[in-house]
Amino acid sequence: MNVDLYKNIFFVGIGGIGMSALARYFNKKNKSVYGYDMTKSDLCIQLQNEGVEIIYNDNSSNIFKEIYQSDTNETLIIYTPAIPSDNNILQFFNDRSFEIIKRSEALGYISKDAYTVAIAGTHGKTTTSTMLAHILKSSGNNPTAFLGGISHNYNTNFLFSESSSILIVEADEFDRSFLHLHADIAIITSIDVDHLDVYNDKSDLLLAFNQFAAQIKLNGFLVIEDSVKHEIELNKQINIESYSTSSICDYYSENISCNNSKMIFDMKFCKNKFINNIELNMPGNHNVSNAMSAIIVSSYLGVDKSNIKKAIKTFNGVYRRFDIHIDNKKLVYIDDYAHHPEEVLATINTTKIMYPSRKITVVFQPHLFSRTKDFAKEFSVSLKDADDLVLLDIFPARENPIEGIDSYMLLNLCTNNEKEVCTKDSLIPLLKNKKIDILLTLGAGDVSTLVQPIKHMLN
């Protein structure tokens, strides 16, 4: 399929971070772009300001007449798996035999003829891909990039270039989406069990990651975190290099230190100096690891070391990835997208290292009933270092409730001395009555809509 041949593109679930980036791509390609979403989010408002037409009611009679009356051969429908199959808008297009594809399929078609750099891993995809895009853009190698978050440097989740053949995409393991990609360069940052609503177990997840790696093009390049290298059956017909912040391998870091919210480290290649005194304005060893993989790929693509170092220093991070909103001696407020036990643990540990001996209040919104059920014990361990723990109700996203699975179930497993469950609407009044030293809000759901109200209340 050549997606560029379609005149109209209609997105079902256009407000998602991945869908909105695709919408921006087709808008830049001068297609007529339309969409539906149930929520008028900030992203939807931005898309409308960019000329995309969006409806917020799933009654099919509201579909724009340009689409309603169009020839089915002129219009491509792209949907996200987060949309239920019985959605009225989706059903309308199904009944009329429009061409309907998933978001991941569309990305696969777009990347087919491009020089594709695909970033995979259960954690770190968004930070790594955004960092890589920034390094390339800063050095004049303007890529087209589909990002899973909003870059603080560019205030967008999509970069477009007509002058470069380099395409940066996040290779998402959910729904086996990344199997639509055949990368020239791939990064695998991590492989932790997740998405057990899609995969049977870790072996099933590993099969998918191995298939993704096997699809790297002949003489391509795989950059892989050293601790997961043994999980992948390595293809001898591609170039492979490993990296680590904790062990000696192809690329490794030394002299890692944290200065306020800045990481400073040296990077070596096969025990020889590579780049010294790298400054990264994102805290945590996990972000040093993300930076290393972006640096390796940038160097492979011909960016010189001085430009890499300058770009890393000017990288301002990604919206909701350890976003520090308030930072003074009396009060700190940090918001993060963490929604997997390993991510929650990394965020809390990083905060404790940055602010030793201070009291941390954690507000966590579990994401998905299935993930909460599958990792309840792991979440309770990840959250144990919160001095005061507040659990919001589970954000269901695409799921229906599971009997016996709620935030009270998780709370009962948590061993924190101070702990409670709170509704989203009651959170700000609750926080007003707490003596807050450091506040963390964590989760991938609509806890994000509380960030600005919380910040306003704290200020």
280-290 confidence digits (pLDDT tens): 999 999 999 99
Which residue matches tokens 């723990």?
389
Taking Cα atoms as reference points, which of 371, 377, 443 lies closest to residue 414?
377
- CB-side neighbour CA atoms (13 Å) of 215: 20
As a whole number of angstroms, the longest Cα–Cα distance in the chain is: 65
Does the domain at residues 3-102 carry the CATH identifier 3.40.50.720?
A: yes
Q: What is the pLDDT of residue 417?
A: 96
Q: What is the pLDDT of residue 156?
A: 97
Going by pLDDT thresholds of 50, 70 and 90, the confidence category of residue 387 is very high
Going by pLDDT thresholds of 50, 70 and 90, the confidence category of residue 70 is confident
* Domain boundaries of the chain, sorted by first residue: 3-102, 114-313, 323-458
- Tell me phi and psi for residue 100, to 5 degrees: -125, 125
Going by pLDDT thresholds of 50, 70 and 90, the confidence category of residue 431 is very high
Name the token pair of 65: 């007449």
Check pLDDT > 90 for residue 146. Answer: yes
* 3 state SS of 167: strand
Q: What is the pLDDT of residue 374?
A: 96
**Cα–chain center distance at 273:** 31
Domain 323-458, CATH: 3.90.190.20
- Contact between 439 and 454 (Cβ < 8 Å): yes
Q: What is the pLDDT of residue 66?
A: 84
H-helix or E-strand spanning residue 432: helix 427-432
DSSP assigned state of 445 = S
pLDDT tens figures, 178-237: 999 999 999 999 999 998 888 999 999 999 999 999 999 999 999 999 999 999 998 789
Q: What is the pLDDT of residue 368?
A: 95
* 3 state SS of 129: helix
Taking Cα atoms as reference points, which of 175, 171, 201, 174 lies closest to residue 183?
171
Going by pLDDT thresholds of 50, 70 and 90, the confidence category of residue 398 is confident
pLDDT tens figures, 311-328: 999 999 999 999 999 999
- Contact between 296 and 304 (Cβ < 8 Å): no
Report percent pLDDT > 70 for the chain.
100
Taking Cα atoms as reference points, which of 238, 244, 245 lies closest to residue 219?
238
Identify the weakest region by mean pLDDT among 24-33, 117-126, 207-216, 227-236: 227-236
Check pLDDT > 90 for residue 72. Answer: no
pLDDT tens figures, 326-336: 999 999 999 99
* Whole-angstrom distance, CA of residue 124 vs CA of residue 188: 9
> Which CATH superfamily includes the segment(s) 114-313?
Mur-like, catalytic domain (3.40.1190.10)
The set of residues, in sequence order, having a beta carbon less than 8 Å from that of 85 and lying 6+ positions away, is none
Going by pLDDT thresholds of 50, 70 and 90, the confidence category of residue 68 is confident
The DSSP result for 264-300, as a single string, is EEEEEETTEEEEEEEEESS-SHHHHHHHHHHHHHHHH
Check pLDDT > 90 for residue 253. Answer: yes
Residues 42-51 as b/e (b if ≥16 CB within 10 A, e otherwise) read: ebbebbeeee
Check pLDDT > 90 for residue 84. Answer: no
Going by pLDDT thresholds of 50, 70 and 90, the confidence category of residue 159 is very high
Identify the weakest region by mean pLDDT among 73-87, 176-190, 282-296: 73-87
- Contact between 213 and 186 (Cβ < 8 Å): yes
Determine how β-strand 262-269 pairs with β-strand 156-159. Answer: unpaired
